[in-house]
């Protein structure tokens, strides 16, 4: 089942602190090689927990296409 929204990371703003990784209850977001966070789109349910904890305001939620 695909959820309506998912998290999107602005790589230019991300500081790769990993706060989102800790906050995500599904392990759907991981820091990629210490550079920026990556969202596993299929796992993300768009709960917004990562968005709430991100200190750099680099995560926003977007609607999935076709849902």
25 binds other proteins (CB under 8 A): yes
2 binds other proteins (CB under 8 A): no
Taking the C-alpha atoms of residue 43 and residue 48, their distance in angstroms, rounded to an integer, is 13
Contact 50, 7 (CB under 8 A): yes
Site residues for other proteins, 31-60, by CB under 8 A, read 31-35, 52-58
Q: Which residue is associated with the tokens 């849902």?
A: 67
Question: What is the nearest approach in angstroms of other proteins to the Cβ of residue 20?
Answer: 10
For binding to other proteins (CB under 8 A), which residues are involved?
A: 13, 15-19, 21-23, 25-27, 31-35, 52-58
């Amino acid at each position: 089942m695909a959820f309506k929204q998912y998290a999107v990371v602005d790589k230019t703003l991300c500081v790769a602190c990993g706060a989102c990784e800790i906050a995500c209850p599904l392990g759907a977001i991981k820091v990629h090689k210490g550079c920026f966070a990556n969202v596993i789109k299929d796992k993300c349910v768009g709960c917004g927990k990562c968005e709430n904890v991100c200190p750099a305001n680099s995560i926003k939620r977007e609607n999935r296409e076709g849902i």
